Amino acid sequence: MKYEYEILEKGQLSTGFLKLVRYRLRHRLFAGGWSEEVVRERLEPLRASSVLLYDPQQDEVVLIEQFRIGALESDNPWLLEIIGGHIGAGETPEEVARRESLEEAGCEVLDLLPICEFLVTPGTSGERNHLYCARVDASQAGGIHGIKEEGEDIRVEKMSFADAMDEIYGGRINSTTGIMAMQWLALNREQLQQRWK
């Protein structure tokens, strides 16, 4: 099969914080030939950087809690998350991870390891996320942070690795980046503790 697609029409529906575009397209089929015309709306590509802050000496993670519009239908739209932010023009994912760690948790990144890059919700969005784990001194973390002009109200929460693992899968950590980062930490924790002695 040839992996081909053809955009028949593209129209902007929204130009706010998120850009929404309607596509009319067709694509090659696994069985051969072309699909019928498909109409889909897509949130246009954003790039983001997310980072799990980990203190290997204390075996603690530094998380943040903030209100999230996407969680309105949840029991509680204040989510426990890892650090993250959008990558602006001229910024690298690593620079954003370091900047957001200071802005959202007051933590300086002492070392930064890439975990992966992934598509967030490819059925509706072109957003890509660069996921990292950072070594930090958790004793420096705490308080309320965020940029007022961006409407941020972020509370820092430190917890043991074991307590954080208890918060995934139906607990307070229920976003993609948080679950992925904690699963990665569970698989790589002993190696990180050796590396970051």
Which domain CATH number covers 63? 3.90.79.10
Whether residue 54 sits in one domain with residue 33? no
Indicate if 20 and 86 belong to the same structural domain: no
Are both 35 and 58 inside the same structural domain? Answer: no
Tell me: do 33 and 19 sit in the same domain: yes
**Quick check: 28 pLDDT over 90?**
yes
Which candidate, 76, 175, 192, places its Cα nearest to that of 129?
175
Given a contact cutoff of 8 angstroms between Cβ atoms, the answer to whether 53 and 82 are in contact is yes
**Residue with more model confidence, 107 or 70:** 107
pLDDT tens digit sequence for 71-107 = 888 888 999 999 999 999 999 999 999 999 999 999 9
Q: 120 is in which domain, residue-wise? A: 47-195
Q: Are residues 10 and 38 in the same domain?
A: yes
The DSSP result for 141-188, as a single string, is --SEE--GGGT--EEEEEEEHHHHHHTBSSSSB-SHHHHHHHHHHHHH
**Alpha carbon separation from 179 to 21, 34, 35, 50, 193 (Å, rounded):** 29, 37, 35, 12, 20
Q: Are residues 75 and 98 in the same domain?
A: yes
The pTM of the full predicted model, rounded to 2 decimals, is 0.91
- Report d(CA 130, CA 177) in Å as an integer: 10
Of the candidates 41, 150, 152, 190, the residue annotated as catalytic is 150
- The count of domains in the chain is 2
The DSSP annotation for 111-139 comes to EEEEEEEEES-TTTB--EEEEEEEE--GG
Judge whether 100 counts as a catalytic residue.
Answer: no
Question: Are residues 104 and 153 located together in one domain of the fold?
Answer: yes
Same structural domain, 29 and 88 = no
Q: Are residues 69 and 32 in the same domain?
A: no
179, 119: one domain: yes
Whether 128 and 158 share a structural domain = yes
Domain co-membership, 37 together with 56:
no
pLDDT for 170 beyond 80: no
